Homo-oligomer: A and B are copies of this chain.
Amino acid sequence: MVEIARVEKADAIAHGATGKGNDQVRFELAAAALAPDLRIIAPWREQRFRKQFSGRAEMIAFAKANEIPVEASAEKPYSRDRNLLHVSYESGVLEDPWFDASSREMRDMYKLSVAPEDAPNEPEYLDLTFENGNCINVARPSRLRDADAQAGALTPLQVMQTLNKLGGKHGIGRVDIVENRFVGMKGRGVYETPGGAILHFAHRQMETLTMDREVMHLRDSLIPKYSELVYNGFWFSPEREALQALVTETQRDVTGVVRLKLYKGNIIVAGRKSPKSLYDPQIATMEGTDASTYDQSDATGFIRLNALRLKLRAIRDSGVG
């Protein structure tokens, strides 16, 4: 957006987002950070245009009358937006949060996925290969040998396209939520994100095997903040960059393969392995072994000192000693 503005020697950026949603904020905060000198033109927020076009219906009529081709139609009782990561649906019948968007009548709405009920009866297995936190390959188990995992690496775009297709086929990634728009109101949105859902699930599985416990707790406590920043449009902000530095550091060893089973809306883990695994069955086992690293007697002192402050407090509060 900003790049094009520079090429065109523009002195302003215009967008068609309404004054009630998140998109306006995202466009304009990005422009502020990358091109603070450019003016913003947002016709929907100018009263004269709102008088002329009080809503989507009037705008669609105007486009029709003036032969401007738009995909939206007054018949489709909802709005739709699409990018690589998802398709979103809002407005119209969806505005009632009690309205069932998963009903048989609504099945035509969805573009990326079938309903779980319409997905194949046979599960499909999938191996996702990760390197430093990024998915670099997606393949059927039988076709992936370890040596090939990196050889046939996919681009991030190909990863998303592949996962969107496979996830959509198996009815995965439909989300129906009441969300909290940055402008201060709640809104109801329905999303399809088959590839995103698979990637998110598999990535977390890869992390459980390779990420240190305390790193995970720390990172997890910052996920709501990171999500909030992205959702609210602060991608190009210094606080997002600071968080990113932490996140990137946590991904250094998130490397390996996760095997998934896709079946009628379910993402099921069927295995994970990694050269960077922090899981040592020799230590974790409940069976008798000779693992010299773990002496169960140590647990006594460990627990006793973790309990010490609880005991001191209990003694203070109860007089028991």
Contacts and interface: CB of A to CB of B under 8 A. Distances in A.
13 contacts: A46-B297, A50-B296, A90-B286, A116-B268, A180-B213, A183-B302, A266-B266, A278-B309, A278-B312, A298-B305, A301-B302, A302-B304, A302-B306
Quick one: which of A243, A263, A277, A283 has the most chain B CB within 10 A?
A283
Interface stretch (A53-61, A62-70, A152-160): A53-61
A176 interface: yes
Contacts of A181: 284
A303 interface: yes
Nearest to A213: B180
A249 B241 contact: yes
Given A91-B287, A209-B97, A259-B100, A185 B312 contact: yes
Contact of A293 (B214, B250, B293, B311): B311
Given A45-B300, A296-B50, A307-B28, A79 B316 contact: no
A276 interface: yes
A278 B102 contact: no
Contacts of A29: 303, 306-307, 310
A281 B209 contact: no
A225 B223 CA distance: 13
A128 to B, nearest CB: 14
Interface string A227-261: 01000001011110111111011100000000101
B310 A237 contact: yes
A285 B117 contact: no
Contact of A178 (B33, B185, B242, B272): B272
A212 B309 contact: yes
Given A209-B178, A242-B218, A266 B116 contact: yes
A188 B237 contact: no
Size class of the contact patch on chain A: 35 or more
Interface stretch (A36-44, A129-137, A161-169): A36-44
A85 interface: no
Nearest to A284: B187
A212 B238 contact: yes
Interface string A98-137: 1110110000000000001100000100000000000000
A13 interface: no
A36 B318 CA distance: 10
Given A91-B287, A221-B221, A221-B224, A308 B264 contact: no
B225 A270 contact: no
A47 interface: yes
Nearest to A224: B220
A84 interface: no
Nearest to A241: B249
A172 to B, nearest CB: 10
B299 A20 contact: yes
B45 A296 contact: yes
Contact of A271 (B34, B100, B299): B100
A289 B321 CA distance: 17
